[in-house]
Amino acid sequence: MRKLYKLFATLLALTVMMSLSINIQIASAKEEAKVAIIQLVSHPSLDQIVLGIKEGLAEGGYQEGDNLTIEFHNAEGDMNLLGSIADTVIHNQPDLIFSVTTPVAQAVADATTEIPIVLAGITDPLAASLVDSLDQPGGNITGVSDAVQFEEQFDLIVQLQPDLKTLGMLYTTSEDNSLAELKKAEVVAEKYNIETIITGIDSTLDMQLVAENLAKQVDAIFIGADNSIASSIDTLLDVTDKAGIPVFTTIDSFVEKGALAAIAINQKSIGIQSAAMGIDILKGQNPAEMPIQSVTNKQPVYNYETAEKLGITIDEQEESMIAENEVNTTATTNNHFSIYFNAMTQGILWGIMGIGLYITFRILRFADLTSEVSFTMGASVAVALASSGVHPLIATLVAVFGGMVAGYVTGLLMTLFDIPSLLAGIITLTGFYSINLRIMGKPNVSFRGLSTIYDTLSSLFASDILQRTLIGLATVGIVILLLALFFKTDFGQAVIATGDNEIMADALGISTARMKRFALVLANGIIGLSGALIAQDNGYADISMGVGTVVVALSSIVIGEVLLKNLTLPLRLLSIVAGAVIYRLILVYVLQLGFNANDFKLISATVLAIFLALPSISKRFKRLKKGGAQ
């Protein structure tokens, strides 16, 4: 009987142990997680957030490749791609989704109301209509906001610059959260008796013009967490360095780049904090009842090199700020006319693109959309080679070849497969977006710290405006001379004949397909050259910098033709450069009138329409005048 009891006890113990083992295995299975991370674009701030998410998950016991599967997507700045990424992620059914930036969060929130979403670095989730309230988000969304306490920021600003009267603020017109952040800063600025001027950029290409205009009106510039501003931060800092004014911010990586100071949010800490909230959700917490958290890890950061340039001493041990002198602006060109001189220089460089487009628009008689991507191709090739240590002159010449390749692809599509010119341009434009992204490695690459083609004249001329102007004029002269000589040859005349009357050219034995391909290669090579020069002038290359450039080039052509008529080919090409300069000066004047950068596209279209309509208006006026005289 005693043996029977022992056997029963042994069987009971084994049953309990097996039960515990099963429970442990079930618990372990529940500890396995599948998460998705979606990032809007590659730049240091957002990269740090993603890194923080991964580190935070690891610290919480979720190791990728062990008990964690991470599905990562980066839209690389393509807003149209976000919806497809969101649908793909939802289809894969992760346990939760980390959304880095507001546009990503909005796209994912629109795609699912079931899978938990953790916000990572969204400034104002309430204003973005992502949550019902900050305390009770409701639905499937919670996370970490990178909103800042502006009182702390302005305490620091006033300490560093006690005589500050006017503060400029920059944002991207397409980012509502960025404007909302600056509106809050504006309210705080009033308490410190600081006047603010808030202005926006429509795209990264607007930065130089807008920043130059703003810099001459203010004592300092403030920027917050803004994706497009981050992509063109180097251009902004180049402008403010020349103007002798500081940039204040809330982002530590901006201070590393050259901004003066910030009560900064450590971007990695946003990711770590978001990961902690994600782990709580994986363990069973309801995101609807988890309040939106604010960033806890904030600290003052300074750029001592920038402070030295501005005549400001920062005690590194006690971090006390003493303004020794007023900002030194004696060596700058920060006056009323400097922005117009810069606009003229930029106009010369844009005129080169106008010359390239003239070949397809006036000689082949169609507007080639390939120009937008060949412009970006020139910029991406130039910055990629410069980053690899290639001499800037060689990098610029290779950029011409990059533009030629894009033109050749469009030519093949048109002549070999009989695809209409408009569709052929669109196909090349779409496909080469990815190629340009591959070349650069990320959507935005800076020339800051790299040698540019304009530096080749730095030993001869101290003025950077003079350096850029001379390089631009020399390039224009060489391009016009070579084109004038080419179009006098039999081959050049054959290209012109193809555009004038393709049927007649065929009848004369001219290979019109070959002529079209060559003209597209030539035109887009020149446009690639323009892209390389403008990127080096702006200080960065951006994947979206070609968007809308066709309108700019067409405006240059039309303005030149309306103002200067009946010219020889060389003078006609030179008139395009004059048209580009006039176009840039018009934009500067519009800015002076107080228009915002988000009106640039409307202004561009209006300018183009007016100059296109001028010949017709002039004829009607003369007809009416003649009729009245009779």
Domain ranges of the chain: 33-146+269-285, 150-249, 336-614
Average pLDDT of every residue of the chain: 84
Type of residue numbered 294: S
Residue 121: which of 98, 96, 91, 139 has the closest Cα?
Answer: 98
Q: Distance between CA 510 and CA 256 in Å, rounded?
A: 59
Helix (H) or strand (E) holding 171: strand 166-172
Res 324: pLDDT: 38
The SS3 assignment for 262 reads: strand
> How much is the pLDDT for 598?
58
CB atoms within 10 A of CB 23: 10
CA distance 452 to 471: 11
For residue 175, which amino acid is it?
A: E
The predicted structure's pLDDT at residue 28: 40
Q: Quick one: pLDDT at residue 599?
A: 67
The pLDDT of residue 315 is 59
User: In this structure, how many other beta carbons lie within 10 angstroms of the beta carbon of residue 442?
Assistant: 16
Query: Per-block average pLDDT, block size 10, for the chain (630 residues)?
Result: 49 46 39 90 84 94 92 78 81 93 86 93 83 92 86 90 93 77 90 92 83 91 84 88 91 88 85 94 94 84 90 59 37 53 88 96 91 95 94 96 97 94 94 92 78 82 80 95 96 94 92 96 97 88 84 89 86 94 84 66 78 81 68
CATH number of 33-146+269-285: 3.40.50.2300
- Topology agreement, domain 33-146+269-285 and domain 150-249: yes
Fold topology of 150-249: Rossmann fold (3.40.50)
Distances from the Cα of 477 to the Cα of 215, 312, 355, 483, 484, angstroms: 33, 45, 12, 10, 11
- Unique residue bearing structure tokens 């990424």: 85
CB 87 within 8 A of CB 36: no
Would you state the pLDDT for residue 311? Answer: 87
- Whether domain 336-614 has CATH 1.20.1410: the reply is no
Can you give the pTM of this predicted structure?
A: 0.69
Strands 166-172 and 33-39, by their bridges, are: unpaired
Neighbour count for residue 393 (Cβ, 10 Å): 12
Cβ-in-10-Å burial (0-12, 13-18, 19+) of 247 comes to: buried
pLDDT in tens, 216-234: 899 999 998 787 788 788 8
